[in-house]
Protein backbone atom coordinates (compact mmCIF):
# COMPACT_ATOMS: atom_id res chain seq x y z
CA UNK A 1 0.00 0.00 0.00
CA UNK A 2 2.77 2.42 1.02
CA UNK A 3 6.44 1.92 0.28
CA UNK A 4 9.35 4.11 1.33
CA UNK A 5 12.57 3.72 -0.65
CA UNK A 6 15.87 5.24 0.44
CA UNK A 7 14.22 8.04 2.41
CA UNK A 8 16.48 10.77 3.78
CA UNK A 9 15.40 13.94 5.56
CA UNK A 10 18.04 16.59 6.05
CA UNK A 11 17.52 20.01 7.62
CA UNK A 12 19.94 22.89 7.12
CA UNK A 13 23.36 22.69 5.50
CA UNK A 14 27.03 22.84 6.32
CA UNK A 15 27.78 22.91 10.04
CA UNK A 16 24.11 23.46 10.77
CA UNK A 17 23.05 20.31 8.90
CA UNK A 18 20.87 17.87 10.82
CA UNK A 19 20.08 14.43 9.43
CA UNK A 20 16.63 13.44 10.72
CA UNK A 21 16.22 10.26 8.64
CA UNK A 22 18.90 8.11 7.01
CA UNK A 23 18.13 5.77 4.12
CA UNK A 24 14.78 4.39 5.36
CA UNK A 25 13.29 1.46 3.44
CA UNK A 26 9.98 -0.09 4.47
CA UNK A 27 6.59 -1.31 3.26
CA UNK A 28 3.16 -0.92 4.85
CA UNK A 29 0.55 -3.38 3.63
CA UNK A 30 -3.17 -2.76 3.53
CA UNK A 31 -4.90 -3.65 6.80
CA UNK A 32 -1.79 -3.57 8.98
CA UNK A 33 -1.53 -1.90 12.38
CA UNK A 34 1.95 -0.39 12.22
CA UNK A 35 3.68 1.25 15.16
CA UNK A 36 6.77 3.40 14.76
CA UNK A 37 8.82 3.44 17.96
CA UNK A 38 12.13 4.76 19.24
CA UNK A 39 13.67 7.34 21.59
CA UNK A 40 12.68 11.01 21.51
CA UNK A 41 14.25 12.81 18.57
CA UNK A 42 14.91 9.66 16.54
CA UNK A 43 12.75 10.76 13.58
CA UNK A 44 9.44 9.01 14.33
CA UNK A 45 7.17 11.97 13.63
CA UNK A 46 9.26 13.06 10.66
CA UNK A 47 8.84 9.63 9.09
CA UNK A 48 5.10 9.60 9.80
CA UNK A 49 4.67 13.02 8.19
CA UNK A 50 6.55 11.89 5.08
CA UNK A 51 4.48 8.70 4.78
CA UNK A 52 1.30 10.78 5.22
CA UNK A 53 2.39 13.28 2.52
CA UNK A 54 2.43 16.09 5.05
CA UNK A 55 6.14 16.52 4.31
CA UNK A 56 8.53 15.54 1.53
CA UNK A 57 11.84 13.68 1.82
CA UNK A 58 15.13 15.36 0.95
CA UNK A 59 16.09 12.23 -0.99
CA UNK A 60 14.24 9.03 -1.81
CA UNK A 61 10.71 8.16 -2.86
CA UNK A 62 7.39 7.35 -1.23
CA UNK A 63 5.03 5.18 -3.28
CA UNK A 64 1.29 4.84 -2.73
CA UNK A 65 -0.15 1.75 -4.43
CA UNK A 66 2.84 1.72 -6.76
CA UNK A 67 2.70 5.39 -7.73
CA UNK A 68 5.57 7.72 -6.96
CA UNK A 69 4.06 10.42 -4.79
CA UNK A 70 6.73 12.88 -5.96
CA UNK A 71 4.92 12.94 -9.33
CA UNK A 72 1.68 14.05 -7.69
CA UNK A 73 0.59 17.65 -8.11
CA UNK A 74 -0.10 19.66 -4.96
CA UNK A 75 -3.82 19.23 -5.65
CA UNK A 76 -3.42 15.44 -5.86
CA UNK A 77 -1.49 15.43 -2.59
CA UNK A 78 -4.26 17.48 -0.98
CA UNK A 79 -6.85 14.98 -2.23
CA UNK A 80 -4.78 12.15 -0.72
CA UNK A 81 -4.70 13.94 2.64
CA UNK A 82 -8.41 14.70 2.46
CA UNK A 83 -9.79 11.41 1.11
CA UNK A 84 -7.22 8.64 1.66
CA UNK A 85 -5.59 9.60 4.95
CA UNK A 86 -7.09 10.51 8.30
CA UNK A 87 -4.91 12.28 10.86
CA UNK A 88 -4.82 12.16 14.66
CA UNK A 89 -2.36 14.24 16.65
CA UNK A 90 -1.16 14.27 20.25
CA UNK A 91 -2.36 17.85 20.73
CA UNK A 92 -5.83 17.07 19.25
CA UNK A 93 -5.79 20.23 17.05
CA UNK A 94 -9.52 20.82 17.43
CA UNK A 95 -10.87 24.24 16.47
CA UNK A 96 -11.67 25.91 19.79
CA UNK A 97 -14.55 27.99 18.42
CA UNK A 98 -16.34 24.98 16.91
CA UNK A 99 -18.46 22.38 18.69
CA UNK A 100 -17.58 18.69 18.62
CA UNK A 101 -20.12 18.21 15.83
CA UNK A 102 -18.72 21.13 13.80
CA UNK A 103 -15.14 19.91 14.25
CA UNK A 104 -16.08 16.53 12.80
CA UNK A 105 -17.96 18.21 9.96
CA UNK A 106 -14.92 20.26 8.94
CA UNK A 107 -13.18 17.72 6.62
CA UNK A 108 -16.51 17.14 4.88
CA UNK A 109 -16.97 20.88 4.36
CA UNK A 110 -13.52 20.99 2.74
CA UNK A 111 -14.61 18.03 0.59
CA UNK A 112 -17.77 19.95 -0.37
CA UNK A 113 -20.16 17.39 1.07
CA UNK A 114 -23.86 18.22 1.31
CA UNK A 115 -24.81 19.97 4.59
CA UNK A 116 -27.44 17.39 5.54
CA UNK A 117 -25.09 14.49 4.84
CA UNK A 118 -22.18 15.90 6.81
CA UNK A 119 -24.28 16.69 9.90
CA UNK A 120 -25.77 13.19 9.83
CA UNK A 121 -22.35 11.58 9.31
CA UNK A 122 -20.70 13.65 12.08
CA UNK A 123 -23.50 12.79 14.52
CA UNK A 124 -23.25 9.07 13.71
CA UNK A 125 -19.47 9.06 14.19
CA UNK A 126 -19.65 10.83 17.55
CA UNK A 127 -22.37 8.46 18.71
CA UNK A 128 -20.25 5.45 17.74
CA UNK A 129 -17.39 6.60 19.95
CA UNK A 130 -19.63 7.36 22.90
CA UNK A 131 -20.00 11.12 22.55
CA UNK A 132 -23.58 11.33 21.36
CA UNK A 133 -24.39 13.46 24.41
CA UNK A 134 -21.53 15.90 23.71
CA UNK A 135 -22.37 16.99 20.16
CA UNK A 136 -22.70 20.67 21.00
CA UNK A 137 -19.87 20.87 23.52
CA UNK A 138 -16.83 23.00 22.74
CA UNK A 139 -13.31 21.55 23.18
CA UNK A 140 -12.74 23.36 26.48
CA UNK A 141 -15.85 21.63 27.84
CA UNK A 142 -14.43 18.18 27.08
CA UNK A 143 -11.79 16.08 28.83
CA UNK A 144 -8.55 15.21 27.04
CA UNK A 145 -9.83 11.73 26.28
CA UNK A 146 -13.08 13.11 24.89
CA UNK A 147 -11.21 15.62 22.73
CA UNK A 148 -9.07 12.82 21.32
CA UNK A 149 -12.18 10.83 20.49
CA UNK A 150 -13.58 13.86 18.66
CA UNK A 151 -10.27 13.99 16.75
CA UNK A 152 -10.70 10.32 15.81
CA UNK A 153 -14.23 10.97 14.58
CA UNK A 154 -12.93 13.89 12.53
CA UNK A 155 -10.21 11.65 11.06
CA UNK A 156 -12.90 9.19 9.97
CA UNK A 157 -15.21 11.78 8.42
CA UNK A 158 -14.23 11.12 4.79
CA UNK A 159 -13.91 7.32 5.14
CA UNK A 160 -10.10 7.14 4.95
CA UNK A 161 -8.23 3.97 4.01
CA UNK A 162 -5.35 4.86 6.34
CA UNK A 163 -5.18 6.60 9.70
CA UNK A 164 -1.91 8.31 10.62
CA UNK A 165 -1.67 8.86 14.39
CA UNK A 166 1.14 10.76 16.09
CA UNK A 167 1.30 9.88 19.82
CA UNK A 168 -2.53 9.78 20.07
CA UNK A 169 -2.41 8.69 23.74
CA UNK A 170 0.52 10.90 24.74
CA UNK A 171 -1.59 13.49 26.58
CA UNK A 172 -4.09 11.05 28.06
CA UNK A 173 -4.42 9.19 31.34
CA UNK A 174 -4.26 5.40 31.16
CA UNK A 175 -8.05 4.90 31.14
CA UNK A 176 -8.64 7.39 28.32
CA UNK A 177 -5.64 6.00 26.44
CA UNK A 178 -7.10 2.50 26.61
CA UNK A 179 -10.41 3.76 25.22
CA UNK A 180 -8.61 5.44 22.30
CA UNK A 181 -6.53 2.35 21.57
CA UNK A 182 -9.57 0.09 21.61
CA UNK A 183 -11.27 2.40 19.09
CA UNK A 184 -8.21 2.22 16.83
CA UNK A 185 -8.10 -1.56 17.22
CA UNK A 186 -11.75 -1.87 16.19
CA UNK A 187 -11.14 0.36 13.16
CA UNK A 188 -8.18 -1.80 12.16
CA UNK A 189 -10.28 -4.95 12.50
CA UNK A 190 -12.71 -3.36 10.01
CA UNK A 191 -9.89 -3.06 7.47
CA UNK A 192 -8.53 0.44 8.07
CA UNK A 193 -4.73 0.59 8.00
CA UNK A 194 -3.24 2.28 11.07
CA UNK A 195 0.21 3.89 11.11
CA UNK A 196 0.99 5.18 14.58
CA UNK A 197 3.92 6.79 16.39
CA UNK A 198 4.31 5.95 20.08
CA UNK A 199 6.91 5.76 22.81
CA UNK A 200 4.72 3.64 25.08
CA UNK A 201 5.96 0.04 25.13
CA UNK A 202 2.71 -1.28 26.59
CA UNK A 203 0.85 -0.29 23.41
CA UNK A 204 2.92 -2.54 21.16
CA UNK A 205 0.51 -5.41 21.83
CA UNK A 206 -1.92 -3.75 19.42
CA UNK A 207 0.55 -3.72 16.51
CA UNK A 208 0.87 -6.23 13.69
CA UNK A 209 4.15 -4.61 12.61
CA UNK A 210 6.68 -2.63 14.66
CA UNK A 211 9.21 -0.29 13.07
CA UNK A 212 12.12 0.63 15.36
CA UNK A 213 14.11 3.79 14.76
CA UNK A 214 17.25 5.10 16.44
CA UNK A 215 19.13 8.27 15.49
CA UNK A 216 17.16 8.53 12.26
CA UNK A 217 17.95 4.99 11.15
CA UNK A 218 15.66 2.01 10.83
CA UNK A 219 17.23 -0.62 13.08
CA UNK A 220 14.55 -3.34 13.08
CA UNK A 221 11.16 -4.34 11.67
CA UNK A 222 9.17 -6.84 13.71
CA UNK A 223 6.19 -8.58 12.12
CA UNK A 224 3.82 -10.41 14.41
Question: d(Cα 169, Cα 194) in Å, to the nearest integer?
Answer: 14
pLDDT in tens, the chain (224 residues): 899 999 999 998 877 889 999 999 999 999 999 999 999 889 999 999 999 999 999 999 999 999 999 999 988 888 888 888 999 988 888 999 999 999 999 999 988 899 999 999 999 999 988 899 999 999 999 999 999 999 999 999 998 999 999 999 888 888 888 998 998 999 999 999 999 999 999 999 999 999 999 999 999 999 98
Contact 35, 209 (CB under 8 A): yes
Domains and CATH numbers, the chain: 29-57+74-223 (3.40.50.300)
Closest CA to 38 of 224, 215, 223, 221: 215
What does pTM read for this prediction?
Answer: 0.90
Beta-carbon neighbour count of residue 80 at 10 Å? 18
Amino acid sequence: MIEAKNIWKIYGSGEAKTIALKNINLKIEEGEFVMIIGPSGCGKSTLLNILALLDVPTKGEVYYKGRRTSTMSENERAIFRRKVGGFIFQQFHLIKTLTALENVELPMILDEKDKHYRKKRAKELLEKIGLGDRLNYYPHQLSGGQQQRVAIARALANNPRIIFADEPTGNLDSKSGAIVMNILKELNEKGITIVMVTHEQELLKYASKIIKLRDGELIEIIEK
